[in-house]
Amino acid sequence: MTTGHGTRRRTDTDVVVCGSGVAGLAAACALGRLGLDVTLLDKQRTQPPVWKGEVLQPGSLDSLHAWDALGRLEARQAVRLSRLVARTATGEELMALDFTVLGGERPWMLAHDYSTILQCMADSLGPTVRLRRGALVKELSHDSAGRISGVRAVADGTALDIRAGLVVAADGMSSRLRRLAGIDVEPVAYDHRLLSFELPGTLPTDDEVSAHATDRGLVMIYPLPDARIRVYIQVRTDELRKVSPADLRRWCEGLVAQVPALAPLAGLLEVNLDRRQLLPVWCYRAPSLVRPGLVLLGEAAHVVHPLAAQGMNTSIGDAEALAARLAAVDLADGSAVDGALRGYENDRMTRIRDVHTMSHNAARMMTSTSRAGRVLSRRLMRGTARSRRLNYLTTYNMSGLGMRPLDRLDRLVQLGVLPDLRARSFAASHSPAHPAGGAAAQLRRAGRDNR
Ligand SMILES: Cc1cc2nc3c(=O)[nH]c(=O)nc-3n(C[C@H](O)[C@H](O)[C@H](O)COP(=O)(O)OP(=O)(O)OC[C@H]3O[C@@H](n4cnc5c(N)ncnc54)[C@H](O)[C@@H]3O)c2cc1C
């Protein structure tokens, strides 16, 4: 129902979702599929091209398939990536995660640029979802009992007063709604940034994410559709401050000398130096995900280092988990909604913590620039490569299909201090060719993972 009041418009909707990044779009897709009336708002009129959020994990592909977005991505030539390989600066393999061992229908990662992923999701929104761009959400509104009951926004000079059974705050890292709801986070900046390049061309291996652990930190390379290559290079926070074009060229030569694996791309890197993007990397977890009438999703709630490609995937997982909790709830019944939100928080906190720990450990392993850190990291990676069980679990945990965190004994096996005593029982009970989805399905059935 919409009534006009001068330049103020009042709207009622089941759910108002603030932010149409991957978290907001995933929420709108999932809640729209429940038949809920969803109003999706974003302050930006168009999605600016930003070189982040490109690799989708197998666990997200099932959701995108259910929302009809996967077919759109495939039609736009999204690239299937079957392996994530940790390599040295010269390209020698340290550890390879092979996603095909997971079995199931889609044992691969899928890559496209963030704008295209968002566009495919926006094109898949159901008939009960309205997306309004250019609408800046400014405030939360509350009912007489103090419960959050909607938002106030501004679009094209018109104030919008939107009342909703649920407010979804998917407004990203610097979430205004999180602050207005009184949920504080303590962001921690990593001691480096990622310099991102988009190069024209193809790679000799077109189904691999290569992550090079080098003396200067992480260098990551993978293919994108339309004959493009993504390169991320770890830089110190002050490394490229106030550099002249001549300094930049020298920096590029030094980089290629330090990381010989980049040599085939040296010419392309040099001519694309002016088109670089510099992205800071942070991590945090909100201490609470809900308030009566409001839920935080995506980077409003959690941010991890991008190395393990978990950000979008956790956002999509958030949306699925929220929809599962709301499936049988009347959105007009505030106490039922708030009960579902508490259940949602309970469901997600452990998973978010585990993704956070895994991403941080992976980032430390690949970005460490101290000598001791690099030696330890290589030992851990080689130890993981030696154990088929640990290699499998690492792949499974990254895939988004489930989570079985490594424990202390696993760490000792990785370090080569203990033999892998669980290897035999793992080999006996796990077959990659298992008819019901392979070993991943067996892990889930065993109930030992945090979904
Ligand atoms: C270098 C880098 C590489 C990455 N690579 C990967 C990867 O390969 N795989 C992966 O899974 N993740 C990756 N990530 C993480 C991923 O990009 C994020 O997790 C994801 O984009 C978060 O989505 P979001 O919807 O929460 O936030 P955002 O994408 O930031 O969306 C927030 C939206 O809210 C809108 N908004 C903000 N405030 C308001 C307001 N007041 N009113 C209305 N609208 C508002 C914004 O306009 C924006 O559209 C990477 C991150 C970085 C930095």
Domain that holds residue 307: 2-76+112-185+286-359
Encode pLDDT of 253-276 as tens digits: 999 999 999 999 999 999 999 999
Encode pLDDT of 284-343 as tens digits: 999 999 999 999 999 999 999 999 999 999 999 999 999 999 999 999 999 999 999 999
- The alpha carbon of 399 and the centre of ligand 1 are apart by a number of angstroms equal to 19
Q: Does residue 106 lie within any of the structural domains?
A: no
Examine the domain organization and report whether 380 and 422 are in the same domain. Answer: yes
Helix axes 114-122, 22-33, angle to 10 degrees: 20
- The alpha carbon of 23 and the centre of ligand 1 are apart by a number of angstroms equal to 8
Examine the domain organization and report whether 375 and 416 are in the same domain. Answer: yes
Examine the domain organization and report whether 211 and 263 are in the same domain. Answer: yes
Question: DSSP label at 306?
Answer: G
Examine the domain organization and report whether 273 and 420 are in the same domain. Answer: no
Q: pTM for this structure? A: 0.94
Q: What is the DSSP string of 210-270?
A: EEEEETTEEEEEEEETTTEEEEEEEEETTTTTT--HHHHHHHHHHHHHH-GGGGGGHHHHH
What letters, b where the CB count within 10 A reaches 16 and e where it falls short, cover 253-288? eebbeebebbeebeeebeebbeebeeeebbbbbbee
Number of domains in the chain: 3
- The alpha carbon of 56 and the centre of ligand 1 are apart by a number of angstroms equal to 13
Examine the domain organization and report whether 202 and 144 are in the same domain. Answer: no
- The alpha carbon of 21 and the centre of ligand 1 are apart by a number of angstroms equal to 5
Examine the domain organization and report whether 26 and 151 are in the same domain. Answer: yes
Cα distances (Å, whole numbers) of residue 152 to 142, 155, 159, 406? 11, 10, 7, 45
Ligand 1 pocket, mutate which of 312, 352, 356, 358 (most atoms under 8 A from CB):
312
Q: Are 27 and 168 in contact (CB under 8 A)?
A: yes
Closest ligand 1 atom, residue 314 Cα = 11
Residue ranges in the chain whose pLDDT is less than 70: 1-11, 428-451
Q: Whose CA is nearest to atom 11 of ligand 1?
A: 312
Q: What is the CATH number of the domain that holds 293?
A: 3.50.50.60
Look at residue 49 in the predicted model and tell me its pLDDT: 82
Nearest to 391 by CA among 373, 372, 376, 410: 410
Q: Whose CA is nearest to atom 2 of ligand 1?
A: 52
- Residues in contact with ligand 1 (CB, 6 Å cut-off): 18-24, 41-44, 52-55, 136-137, 170-172, 176, 194, 279, 298-299, 306, 309-313, 315
Q: What is the CATH number of the domain that holds 240?
A: 3.30.9.10
Domain boundary among 359, 385, 405: 359
Look at residue 350 in the predicted model and tell me its pLDDT: 96
Look at residue 384 in the predicted model and tell me its pLDDT: 95
Question: In the Cβ-directed half-sphere of 69, how many Cα atoms lie within 13 Å?
Answer: 28
Q: Where are the beta strands (DSSP E) in 88-181?
A: 93-98, 109-111, 129-133, 135-142, 148-155, 158-169
What φ, ψ does residue 204 adopt, rounded to 5°?
Answer: -60, -35
Q: Are 399 and 406 in contact (CB under 8 A)?
A: no
Examine the domain organization and report whether 14 and 146 are in the same domain. Answer: yes
